[in-house]
Chain A
């Protein structure tokens, strides 16, 4: 029996028990969280109604899936409240939810019971186009239901020094993507500009553009080259807008004040995220050795706080890989201890105008943490609820990264009503 399956079987409370125990948390968000936690498997019946002309098939992404394969399966799912489930195909032995065809509709099924009906993501029109340089536009910008992702460079310099984050598979996955699909490792600004121009021709399709990439350590100041490259790409994107600023998010390394001012003043970017990944210095040092060695936990935090003066309160955030704080062998010993530490740190950031959100940790086969088990559903529900409550307490907006403009954070799904 795999570690993952063993972990699933001893989970403390079932989905229905969690729904009953937390009546203030919407059942749909709890379902989303559990589906992200456990993954999905498409049955043959479900796949029989997938039409690549209509539905979005898995396109290039920064990180790999938990089956370690690149297969032409549906990109992902939507719930009836508009909540996105961003979820990977998962080997059956890890006990994922099944996506099956029930009464002519796709449904999430667990132990033979229909949990909820779902819809597939629709393919944007630009996915059928190529750039003038001959690259499929789906390789330049990956679509979510309402967002465009630009992964401008898929190499992370921390990996070159064997100091990549332990949950991350970016370089391994992107080698695989380049080899199997021919996805460029580094995007040219003119290809990005052309792709965005094509995407904007579809009315009502997108509300946000997100740029992210691996860390680039080179430059006069640390990360200067990373900043230069983002500015170049953002200026290319900006050619397509009538306004200087456009709804957008940059997820990058923790830049210094001078770099942040350059980014904000020279480009159309409206929000800034730099991921601490785990809110505890000791765990950070173990889990993110590259980030720890270059800047360190406290400087990373300080830079986030300084970014609020430039981007404004509610426009600066930090992302966590929720659950890695419990990874073996040096993670927290209990879920309560992990939550307490995380909330304390999230609050110290919120006081200073920085909002914290998380993705559900998926132990990917291309990462150092492969084969580990992510925490219980109850842990993730409590984490989502706690981070949402901190955001509400400090009146921090999450408009740049909410259910619609991102869709990958259970806690920001809850903040839809802020």
Chain B
């Protein structure tokens, strides 16, 4: 089931200064993680990833994902925030108006480069990876998961 992205996350996705990582898996399940600045959010709430290389590992893994219903993960890191989006590739545009729009745009921006496809990824789950928020969540939901010394009364005189 698709999830709606928060305004905070949407603005982070729009921010060119954000670091964006895309994680996919190969045939054997081995992860492949790469930094990709060509990830952005579309008007309909799906995430678009522009793949420049037909033969890249990421592209092959995305093909496997759409063929065999596998998930991918996107991490977005800003100055003070970090999110992970779990998603699934819904479609890839290798032709047509959306593809040609991005083809022209990337060539205008980057020079003589090619574009293999525009991947459409449906967000299924969002995890706020801010360490403080994650710590508070865990302490609330899993109260056993802490070392006792953290709960001990401070010793007098120390």
Give the complex CA separation of A27 and B64 in angstroms.
Answer: 11
A80 CB within 8 Å of chain B? yes
> B145 within 8 Å of A by Cβ?
no
A: interface residue count bin: 20 to 34
**Interface 1/0s, chain A 187-208, versus B by CB < 8 A?**
0000000000000001111000
Residue on B nearest A402 in the bound complex, by CB? B54
Interfacial chain B residues near A26, Cβ < 8 Å = 67-68
Say whether chain B's binding surface is mostly helix, strand, loop, or mixed.
helix
Of B60, B67, B95, B99, the most chain A CB neighbours within 10 A belong to B95
Cβ of A217 under 8 Å from chain B: no
Contact B91 A80 (CB under 8 A): yes
Which residues on B sit within 8 Å (CB–CB) of A78? Answer: 95-96
Distance of A146 Cα from B99 Cα, bound (Å): 11
CB distance from B121 to the nearest CB of A (A): 12
B116 to chain A minimum Cβ distance, whole angstroms, is 9
CA gap between A26 and B66 in the complex, in Å: 9
Residues 87-112 of B contacting A (Cβ, < 8 Å): 90-97, 99-100, 103-104, 107
Residues of B within 8 A of A1 (CB): none
B contacts with A, residue count (CB < 8 A): 22
**Please, which residue of chain B has its CB at the minimum distance from the CB of A27?**
B67
Residue contact A146 to B92, C-beta cutoff 8 Å: no
Task: A78 to B66: give the CA distance in the assembly, Å.
Answer: 15
A28 interface residue (CB < 8 Å to B): yes
**A82: B residues at CB distance < 8 A:** 92-95, 117
Q: Does B23 contact A (CB under 8 A)?
A: no
Contact (Cβ within 8 A) B67 A80: no
Residue B21 at the chain A interface, CB threshold 8 Å:
no
| B63 contacts A204, C-beta separation under 8 Å | no
A161 located at the interface, meaning its Cβ lies under 8 Å from any Cβ of chain B in the complex:
no
Tell me which residues from 44 to 100 in chain B have a Cβ below 8 Å from any Cβ of chain A.
54, 60, 63-64, 66-68, 90-97, 99-100
With A80-B90, A82-B117, A417-B60 known as contacts, the answer to whether A205 contacts B95 (CB < 8 A) is: yes
A119, B96: Cβ atoms closer than 8 Å: yes
Which chain B positions have C-beta within 8 A of A202? 100
Q: Is A301 an interface residue (CB 8 A)?
A: no
Q: Is B41 an interface residue (CB 8 A)?
A: no
Q: Across the interface, name the chain B residue whose C-beta is closest to A122.
A: B96
In the complex, whether B115 has a CB less than 8 A from a CB of chain A is yes
Known contacts A80-B92, A82-B92, A417-B60; A122 and B66 CB within 8 A of each other: no
> Taking the nearest CB of chain B, how far is it from the CB of A99, in angstroms?
17
A41 within 8 A of B: no
A145 in contact (CB, < 8 A): yes
Q: Is B99 in contact with A80, judged by CB distance below 8 angstroms?
A: no
Residues of A near B104 (CB, < 8 A) are 203-204
Give CA–CA (A80, B92) in the complex, Å.
6
- Counting CB contacts under 8 A, is A186 at the interface? no
Binding site for A on B (CB under 8 A): 54, 60, 63-64, 66-68, 90-97, 99-100, 103-104, 107, 115, 117
Ordered by A's residue number, 6 sampled pairs between the chains whose C-beta atoms are within 8 Å are A26-B67, A81-B91, A82-B94, A119-B96, A146-B94, A204-B100
Chain A residues at the B interface, C-beta cutoff of 8 Å: 26-29, 78, 80-82, 119, 121-122, 145-146, 202-205, 404, 416-417
Q: Given contacts A26-B68, A80-B66, could you give 9 more A-B pairs where the C-beta distance is less than 8 Å?
A: A80-B91, A145-B94, A145-B96, A146-B94, A203-B103, A203-B107, A204-B99, A404-B54, A417-B60
